[in-house]
Amino acid sequence: MDEGGYCTYIMASRSHTLYIGVTGDLHKRVFQHKWKEHDGFTARYNCDRLVWFERYDDVNRAISREKELKGWRRAKKIALIESVNPTWADLSRDWYECEPADYKRALDRMDT
């Protein structure tokens, strides 16, 4: 995926715990969240689904949007997500050859 620019994004867990971030490489950053490459909030709360994002040419606009969203009440964040992604589908599902959950299931099958 060639994204260019900067992205403000929301990751979610299955139970709809939300994480809001900003990055210059959305493809790489989502991969890091999915595979829990860094300890922190998304790893601890299993926020491994990209449910919303916006692109910006200017990093300062992306950061401003991130700060704006973090200041919103939860209901407003949910309304934003559901306005473009009503089923909370993982928007990055087809970006990678293998999803962590698929990989773990395959390993479990090999162990049995």
The pLDDT > 90 percentage for the chain reads 75
| 8 A C-beta contact, residue 19 and residue 10 | yes
| Cβ 13 vs Cβ 48: under 8 Å | yes
* Token pair recorded at residue 89: 């589908």
Q: What is the tens place of the pLDDT at every residue in 12-67?
A: 999 999 999 999 999 999 999 998 988 999 999 999 999 999 999 999 999 999 99
Hey, what CATH class is 6-111 in? alpha beta
- Domain ranges within the chain, ordered by starting residue: 6-111
CA distance 12 to 103: 20
**pTM for this prediction:** 0.85
